Structure 1
Amino acid sequence: MGSHWVRPYSPGTGRWIVIAWEAAALALLTWATIRQFDLIGHGVRTVAGVLAAVWVIGAWRILEHGVYVSSDGVLIRGLLRSRRMRWRDIAGVRLHQATHRLGRWELQRDMTVLIERHDGATVNTELWAQGVDFHARPKAFRAVYHEIRNRHRAAAET
């Protein structure tokens, strides 16, 4: 697959808020762990080091999270795993109005971009209209959707 992956949008400021929130939560967890177990010396350094490493890895994954495109396909980077698909394996790209059922009621959620594969499966792209990247930028969400769809169409024509 192509090695030049491009994210067709800039990350939103919400990512930095999430990273700061996680730093505060892990700092509180570090403090509580040290107090709970009366740690001193090496124990404090070990707990602080492990949780700092967890934060660094988590922050890096949050910053890299998203949808990337290349001439060969699409790369979806999630928090825990990444998924690559070639354009030729993709049947279509569409918007989806997500809904949730609560008993007999159906709750409408925001728009998301789905990729339909030729085998009938659908793949969530992690692109949400009200997500951290597009909450205050609805035009950017539509532009990214059109960019992915147009790249798929161009690849299908060649």
Structure 2
Amino acid sequence: MPLPFLTADRDGAATDVATGTAVSPPREAPEDMYESRHLRWRRPYHPGPLRVGGTAVVLLLAACVLFSGVIIALAGSLPGAGICVAVAALLITIAFRLVRTGIWVGPKGLRQLSLLSGTTLSWADVAGVRTVQQPVRLLGLPRTVQGQVLVVERTQGKALPALVSDQGADFLGRPRAFAETALAVEDEVAEFKG
């Protein structure tokens, strides 16, 4: 049986189980790709390895709590199992919010999501996005170090709190990736506003 995910021809080709032949998926027209890209919220950068690793650890902890809940339920204590399921659901929600933290762009505006809250600005309310050198929190902890942040400025009122920095979970130890992301976000804002 061919295993396309182990070979070099894994670029989207699927294998027909009955015949064993490669079947390529239908390709989208360039216009369709452009439309689908600009009709939904998307993050113009990938989450960093520390963010993904932290999320994986939280999900692993949730799996352990769920497994404990199953053992407690088999032992006959349903209220204890219910508490374990509730804690696991809370951990899964935290993991989901943790991986979605950052700046998102879409056809309606710019969205900045943190762990507990989010702010959405329409494109008319966004004056611009720029990189600023200032003291920032190291991995979101109380300790501050000198670093760069991506600041979203409003047309009226003060700028949004800095959420994406070169000392955060997405870009710690990767200054080049932060610079490329800052340019990508600025380009996205200019494209959607223009």
What TM-score do you get using the length of structure 1 for normalisation? Answer: 0.73
RMSD: 2.9
Q: Which has the higher contact order (CA 8 A, sep 6+)?
A: 1
Question: Given the alignment, which residue of 60, 64, 86 partners 1:50?
Answer: 86
- Residue in structure 1 matched with residue 77 of structure 2 by the alignment: 41
The correspondence for 2:125, drawn from 89, 92, 98, is: 89
1:15 aligns with 2:51: yes
**% of aligned pairs identical?**
26
C-alpha distance in 1, partners of 2:169/2:41? Answer: 21
Match of 1:126 in 2: 163
| Whole-Å separation in 2 of the counterparts to 1:29 and 1:56 | 11
Tell me which residue corresponds to 1:78: 114
- 1:133-144 to 2 correspondence within 5 Å? 133-144=170-181
Displacement of 1:122? 0.5
**Which structure has the larger Rg?**
2
**Superposed structure 1 runs of 4+ greater than 4 Å apart:** 23-30
Q: Could you tell me which runs of 5 or more consecutive residues in structure 1 were left unpaired when the two chains were aligned.
A: 31-39, 101-106
Cα deviation for residue 70 of structure 1 reads: 2.1
Determine whether 1:6 maps to 2:42.
yes
Q: Which has the higher strand share?
A: 1
Preserved contact between residue 75 and residue 85 of structure 1 (Cα < 8 Å): yes
How far 1:143 sits from its partner (Å)? Answer: 1.6
* Partner residue, 1:149: 186
Q: Distance in 2 between matches of 1:42 and 1:59?
A: 25
**Is this contact kept in 2: 1:9–1:140, CA < 8 A?**
no
- Any stretches of 5+ residues in structure 2 without a counterpart? 1-37, 67-75, 137-143
> What is the CA distance between 1:19 and its match in structure 2?
2.6
Cross-structure match for 1:116: 153
- The C-alpha deviation readout for 1:66-124, integer Å capped at 9, x for no partner, is 21112442111211122111222111212122327xxxxxx643211111111131113
TM-score (normalised: structure 2)? 0.61
For the structure 1 residues 10 and 62, does the alpha-carbon distance in structure 2 shift closer, same or farther, using more than 3 Å as the test?
A: same
- Code of the residue aligned with 1:138 in structure 2: it is P
- Structure 1 residues 43 and 124, CA, compared in 2 at 3 Å: closer, same or farther? same
CA distance in structure 2 between the partners assigned to 1:124 and 1:134 by the alignment: 17
Alpha-carbon distance in 2 for matches of 1:153, 1:28: 45
The one-letter amino acid paired with 1:153 is A
Indicate how the Cα distance of structure 1 residues 60 and 119 shifts in structure 2: closer, same or farther if over 3 A, else same: same
